[in-house]
Structure formats: C-alpha cells, structure tokens
Amino acid sequence: MSATNLLNQLSRVKKTGADRWMACCPAHQDKTASLSIKDLPDGRMLLHCFAGCEPDAVLAAIGLTFADLMPERLQGDFKPVRFAFSALDALRALVADLLFIRLCALSMSKGRELIASDLESLHESADRIENALAAIEVKP
Ligand SMILES: [Zn+2]
C-alpha cells in the first residue's frame, strides 16, 4: 500500500514535512488531527496517535493491518523501529488541549471554580499531553 492509499482513508490530512502528515485518528473521537503518519525510505509507514490509541486499533478502524503498512519484500523480515515522532506534530496534535487548559487557567486565576465536566476534560487533556510527551521522548 502506498502512503497515498493510506492517506485517502483518513480525514483532515495535512502534510507537515517531506515524508510526514497529520490526520484525524479514526480510532477515537478526534477533535484535532492527532494521528501522525511517517513514510520511511524503505517503504514502511509509521503511525502514531498522540492521544494514545494503539497502532493496531488505528489500523483496524480503517480495515487495515500492519502488513498493509509494509512493502511485500520486507514482510516476514520485520524489524521494529524505535522512532521519536516530531515535536512540532505533537504540538499540533495538542493545540485544542492547550487552548482549553489556557481557558481553564485564566478562569481559575480570576477565582472562578471549574464545573465537573471541565474537570473531566482537563483530566483527558492531561492524559493526551502525557502520551504526546512520551511519543517525542520528553520525560516530565
Ligand atoms: Zn487516536
């Protein structure tokens, strides 16, 4: 499968580099484009959801498996790669969370209390930030 075929199955695809894209993750309710896609020189494609979805769940959501991300000549001789995703892509994936946290911080700094649903959303944002930092190998 080519990168183009994969990208055609995703929504809100944006090219963020020569060999990389961001798109909405099909495995969760993605408000921002949290899915990073990277095309490796050997023909493999890497996927990472900055919100924390497992790659096999992302693939299953669009009816694919890992074998679809790999050229036939490499199948069976698959060496997993350690790869830190782009810090800029991680930041792009976190924009909605950061804007929400900013609003909460402004509100609290004026002495207002957050409602329960905002506290729940804050918790989810904190989880996404933790996942994104792990993906770009930043230790808090
Ligand atoms: Zn996801």
Model confidence at 138: pLDDT above 80: no
Q: From ligand 1's centre to the CA of 31, what distance in Å?
A: 10
State the pLDDT at residue 40.
85
Q: Which residues surround ligand 1, an ion (CB under 5 A)?
A: 25, 27-28, 49, 51, 53
Distance 113 CA to ligand 1 centre (A): 30
Q: How far is the CA of 74 from the centre of ligand 1 (A)?
A: 26
pTM for this model (two decimals) = 0.77
3-class secondary structure, 36: strand
Distances in whole angstroms, Cα of residue 13 to Cα of each of 76, 79, 87: 30, 27, 18
Structure tokens at 6: 């994969």
Query: What pLDDT is stored for residue 2 in this prediction?
Result: 74
Query: Among 7-11, 107-111, 121-125, 131-135, which is the least confidently predicted range?
Result: 131-135
Tell me how far the alpha carbon of residue 26 lies from the centroid of ligand 1, in angstroms.
6
Q: What does the alpha-carbon distance between residue 85 and residue 21 come to, in Å, rounded to a whole number?
A: 11
- Round to the nearest angstrom and report the end-to-end CA distance of the chain: 37
pLDDT at 83 over 70: no
For the ranges 78-87, 97-106, 124-133, the maximum mean pLDDT occurs at 97-106
Is the pLDDT confidence value at 17 over 70? yes
pLDDT of residue 79: 61
Number of Cα atoms under 13 Å in the Cβ half of residue 133: 9
Percent above pLDDT 70 for the chain: 90
Spatial separation of the C-alpha atoms in residues 51 and 94, rounded to whole Å: 9
Checking if the pLDDT of 25 tops 90, the result is yes
Instruction: For the chain, give the mean pLDDT.
Output: 87
Pairing outcome for strands 14-17 and 45-49: unpaired
Residues paired with residue 20 on neighbouring β-strands, in sequence order: 17, 38
Cα-to-centroid distance, 110 and ligand 1 (Å): 34
Cβ-proximal residues to 116 (8 Å cutoff; 6+ apart), any chain = none
Distance between Cα 49 and ligand 1 center (Å):
5
What's the CA dihedral at 5, 7, 11, 12 to 10 degrees?
-150
Q: Is the pLDDT of residue 75 over 70?
A: no
pLDDT the model gives residue 68:
83
The radius of gyration of the chain's CA atoms, rounded to the nearest angstrom, is: 17
Measure 34 CA to ligand 1 centroid, in angstroms.
6
pLDDT at residue 51, as a whole number: 87
Task: Retrieve residue 29's tokens.
Answer: 């309710």
